[in-house]
């Protein structure tokens, strides 16, 4: 078929088969519907006598398609054939990439008391009384209207994606954003939105996609919470094992410190709640039998996949021994967190931390970080523009914790927007005003930030890093701007070093020139990878290999040609599968999230 015929084809049809073991669930369906919206054609999914709009995520999920099912993809009108070909390719890729939830092998059961069989969500041992989940609902005064609440939830989901973007569970937040958009298209009030949620969940009850009902309820709960509808849970003050029908994905991060384990009765291993529990390392099971909460201790064995509801003294001793063994392994790693990380060949690798605020800086200190390799200053600027005093005090609190600190100047634009900064609407904001380009578009904002940074440092050695540098001229202008601020405010910056993020590919070809003007380099692997492949890292259908060959070769090029210190602060620094190759490339400084410091050090010791 020629280009003319493909463009103006009136109708095109094919059959798509569900081969993913997880079915056509929220995450792949969200990608598929987003891709379908790009075409002017009418796009329908037909199966079992039903025909739904494939651009409507909610409608797609209502088909409850599981492995072995199929549907007719029918494209009509303008671009029909082009749409069919593109969507078929996207669908096949989604089916190939959507892997089954890895079944965790059970260890042998070793208990005398009554034990209920379950399915393992997260491994581990918990010994504590069961506590049945209960909640109280109430309303508080709020000035947030429905549309502002939608925007607030959308922004929060984007932030959660950003915070978890290197982890598999990050796709959950993108899928929920797509679902939120679909549900809110025709809803102008909270009542209409809630009705849409109820209608949607009714179609999923008892079907293959029933596990995704929690995502609908989660979005409704988030919107209502933003409007002042609150849910209160009186968590026990002493250790407990939580028993609940299910939890909402957003509730996982709200679980208290006294929680020892979780038992769900109406969830599934593929639910987003289960994925997040697993990612959080919480011992958890799905147990469908009736469970009596007597207040007596139970044993949740996430290795043997059993809930021992009436343990004998011998059972309790066995579980305590297993718990001790598990804790000892973690504690051995934790105990060495302050030790230097040296490879088997004797190369010392410095492990720093990426932090976002004073709390995460304190966590990094406790985790054994040797300094801060990346201070993301955006935390101060999220909701409103902070005052000079607020900025200065926050920086002082962080600077007091470490001797080595690298501060990145404000990096917004692209996928990171601020409500009070008037950035122009751009066709592709990732290629527009962001990072160091704010020095020209919003000089007052940057000048105030630099003044706060220099004031807080008070002559202490400090590294200031500019993001999104694309040329030597851009760097020298930014450095001159910073020096002018210091001179105007009469601030001593003799101990301040100025460096740059390596994330724009043009830098790779200008390293000899950059060596003459910069004091240090820090490779931002996330953005560098997206620009190397011209794939937006938040794109709903295109995906990036976080360990792409081009990225590694770019890192090797920087490490070999740079005449100034080089570190990596991108997510690749904490990727266990990349550690050995980064060290082989000559990287001797890695900056990772606080939670990965001890683990990264231990891994280095075996390279």
Task: Give pLDDT, residue 347.
Answer: 95
Catalytic pick among 25, 75, 272, 442: 272
All structural domains of the chain with their residue ranges: 3-97, 115-135+233-335, 136-232, 341-604
Measuring CA to CA, which residue among 31, 93, 90, 20 is closest to residue 60? 31
Task: Give pLDDT, residue 438.
Answer: 83
Task: Give pLDDT, residue 434.
Answer: 72
Q: What angle do CA 315, 316, 320 make, to 5 degrees?
A: 120
The H or E element that residue 43 is part of is strand 42-47
Rounded to whole angstroms, the Cα distance separating 122 from 277 reads 7
Residue 392: which residues within 8 A CB-CB, separation 6 or more? 452, 455, 456
Task: Give pLDDT, residue 21.
Answer: 82
pLDDT tens-digit series, residues 139-179: 888 888 998 889 888 888 887 777 666 565 677 887 888 88
Task: Give pLDDT, residue 11.
Answer: 86
Q: What is the mean pLDDT of residues 210-220?
A: 83
Residue 391: is its pLDDT beyond 60? yes
Cα-based distances in Å from 172 to 126, 203, 272, 409, 499? 27, 21, 7, 30, 35
Task: Give pLDDT, residue 223.
Answer: 92
Rounded to whole angstroms, the Cα distance separating 598 from 351 reads 9
Residue 48: which residues within 8 A CB-CB, separation 6 or more? 63
Residue 578: which residues within 8 A CB-CB, separation 6 or more? 547, 552, 572
Task: Give pLDDT, residue 420.
Answer: 53
Residue 444: is its pLDDT beyond 50? yes
Return the DSSP state at 101: P
Q: What is the mean pLDDT of residues 561-565?
A: 97
If you count them, how many residues does the chain have?
A: 607
Return the DSSP state at 423: P
The H or E element that residue 117 is part of is strand 115-117
Task: Give pLDDT, residue 426.
Answer: 55
Catalytic pick among 25, 75, 442, 569: 569
Query: What is the percent of the chain with per-residue pLDDT over 90, rounded to a whole number?
Result: 47
Residue 453: is its pLDDT beyond 90? yes
Rounded to whole angstroms, the Cα distance separating 371 from 461 reads 12
Q: What is the mean pLDDT of residues 365-371?
A: 94
User: For 563, what's the count of Cα atoms within 13 Å in the CB-facing half-sphere?
Assistant: 9
Rounded to whole angstroms, the Cα distance separating 569 from 350 reads 12
Contact (Cβ atoms closer than 8 angstroms) between residue 267 and residue 244: no
Task: Give pLDDT, residue 103.
Answer: 53
User: For 502, what's the count of Cα atoms within 13 Å in the CB-facing half-sphere?
Assistant: 29
Cα-based distances in Å from 285 to 203, 241, 243? 27, 11, 10
Q: Which position has the higher pLDDT, 176 or 508? A: 508
Query: What is the percent of the chain with per-residue pLDDT over 70, rounded to a whole number?
Result: 89
Task: Give pLDDT, residue 1.
Answer: 47
Residue 550: is its pLDDT beyond 80? yes
Q: What is the mean pLDDT of residues 519-542?
A: 83
User: pLDDT band for position 207 (50/70/90)?
Assistant: confident
User: CA torsion angle for 385, 386, 388, 392 (degrees, to 10)?
Assistant: -140
Statement: 3-97 belongs to CATH 3.90.420.10 = no
Task: Give pLDDT, residue 17.
Answer: 93
Cα 36 from chain centroid (whole Å): 25
Clarify whether 272 is annotated catalytic: yes
User: pLDDT band for position 201 (50/70/90)?
Assistant: confident
Task: Give pLDDT, residue 561.
Answer: 97
Measuring CA to CA, which residue among 338, 334, 396, 348 is closest to residue 371? 338
pLDDT tens-digit series, residues 253-288: 889 999 999 999 988 887 778 878 887 789 999 999
pLDDT tens-digit series, residues 228-238: 888 888 899 99
Backbone angles phi, psi at 371, to 5 degrees: 165, -175
Question: What is the overall mean pLDDT for the chain?
Answer: 87
Statement: 341-604 belongs to CATH 3.20.20.60 = yes
Residue 415: is its pLDDT beyond 50? no
pLDDT tens-digit series, residues 336-355: 999 999 999 999 999 999 98
Rounded to whole angstroms, the Cα distance separating 101 from 562 reads 43
Residue 464: is its pLDDT beyond 90? yes
Output the DSSP codes for 158-188. HHHHHHHTTSTTHHHHHHHHHHHHHHHSS--
Cα 154 from chain centroid (whole Å): 14
Calculate helix-pair angle for 170-184, 26-36, nearest 10 degrees. 60
Which class is domain 115-135+233-335? Answer: alpha beta
Q: Strands 284-286 and 259-264, how do they pair? A: parallel
pLDDT tens-digit series, residues 41-66: 899 999 988 899 999 888 888 888 88
Residue 414: is its pLDDT beyond 70? no
Q: Which position has the higher pLDDT, 218 or 430? A: 218
pLDDT tens-digit series, residues 306-333: 999 999 999 999 999 989 987 887 788 7
């Amino acid at each position: 078929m020629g280009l003319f015929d493909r463009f103006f084809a009136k109708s095109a049809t094919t059959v798509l088969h569900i081969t993913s073991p997880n079915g056509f669930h929220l995450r792949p369906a969200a990608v598929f519907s987003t891709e379908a919206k790009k075409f002017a054609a009418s796009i329908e999914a037909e199966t079992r006598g039903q025909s739904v709009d494939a651009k409507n995520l909610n409608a797609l999920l209502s088909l409850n398609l599981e492995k072995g099912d199929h549907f007719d993809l029918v494209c009509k009108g303008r671009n029909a054939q082009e749409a069919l070909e593109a969507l078929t390719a996207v669908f096949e890729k989604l089916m190939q990439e959507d892997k089954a939830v890895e079944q965790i092998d059970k260890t042998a059961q070793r208990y005398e008391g009554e034990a209920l069989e379950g399915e393992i969500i997260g491994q581990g041992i918990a010994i504590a009384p069961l506590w049945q989940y209960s909640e109280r609902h109430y309303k508080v005064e709020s000035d947030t209207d429905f549309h502002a609440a939608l925007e607030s939830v959308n922004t929060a989901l984007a932030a959660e994606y950003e915070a978890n973007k290197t982890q598999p569970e990050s796709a959950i937040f993108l899928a929920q954003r797509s679902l939120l958009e679909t549900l809110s298209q025709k809803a102008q009030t909270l009542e209409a939105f809630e009705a849409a949620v109820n209608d949607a969940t009714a179609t999923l009850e008892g079907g293959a996609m029933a596990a995704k009902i929690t995502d609908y309820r989660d979005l409704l709960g988030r919107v209502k919470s933003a409007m002042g509808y609150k849910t209160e849970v009186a968590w026990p003050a002493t250790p407990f094992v939580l028993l609940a029908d299910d939890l909402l994905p957003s509730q996982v991060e709200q679980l208290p410190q006294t929680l020892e384990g979780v038992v769900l009765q109406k969830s599934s291993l593929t639910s987003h709640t289960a994925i997040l529990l697993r990612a959080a390392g919480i011992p958890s099971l799905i147990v469908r039998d009736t469970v009596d909460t007597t207040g007596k201790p139970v044993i949740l064995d996430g290795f043997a996949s059993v809930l021992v509801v009436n343990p004998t003294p011998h059972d309790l001793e066995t579980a305590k021994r297993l718990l001790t063994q598990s804790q000892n392994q973690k504690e051995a790693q934790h105990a060495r967190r302050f030790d230097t990380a040296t490879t088997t060949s004797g190369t010392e690798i410095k492990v720093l931390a990426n932090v976002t605020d004073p709390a995460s800086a304190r966590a990094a200190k406790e985790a054994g970080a040797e300094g801060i390799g990346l201070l993301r200053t955006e935390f101060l600027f999220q909701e409103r523009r902070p005052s000079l005093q607020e900025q200065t005090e926050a920086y002082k609190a962080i600077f007091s914790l470490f001797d080595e600190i690298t501060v990145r100047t404000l990096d917004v634009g692209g996928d990171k927007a601020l409500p009070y900064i008037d950035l122009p609407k751009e066709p592709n904001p990732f290629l527009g005003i962001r990072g160091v380009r704010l020095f020209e578009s919003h000089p007052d904002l940057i000048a105030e930030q630099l003044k706060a940074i220099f004031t807080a440092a008070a002559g202490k050695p400090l590294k200031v890093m500019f993001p999104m540098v694309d040329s030597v001229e851009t760097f020298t202008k930014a450095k001159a701007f910073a020096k002018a601020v210091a001179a105007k405010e009469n601030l001593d910056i003799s101990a301040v070093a100025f460096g740059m993020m390596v994330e724009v590919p043009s830098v790779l070809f200008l390293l000899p020139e950059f060596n003459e003007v910069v004091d240090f380099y820090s490779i931002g692997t996330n953005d560098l990878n997206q620009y190397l492949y011209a794939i937006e890292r938040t794109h709903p259908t295109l995906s990036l290999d976080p360990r792409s060959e081009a990225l590694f070769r770019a890192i090797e090029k920087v490490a070999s040609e740079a005449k100034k210190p080089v570190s990596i602060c991108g997510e690749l620094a904490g990727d266990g599968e990349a550690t050995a190759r980064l060290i082989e490339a000559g990287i001797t400084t890695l900056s990772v999230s606080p939670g990965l410091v001890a683990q990264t050090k231990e891994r280095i010791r075996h390279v």
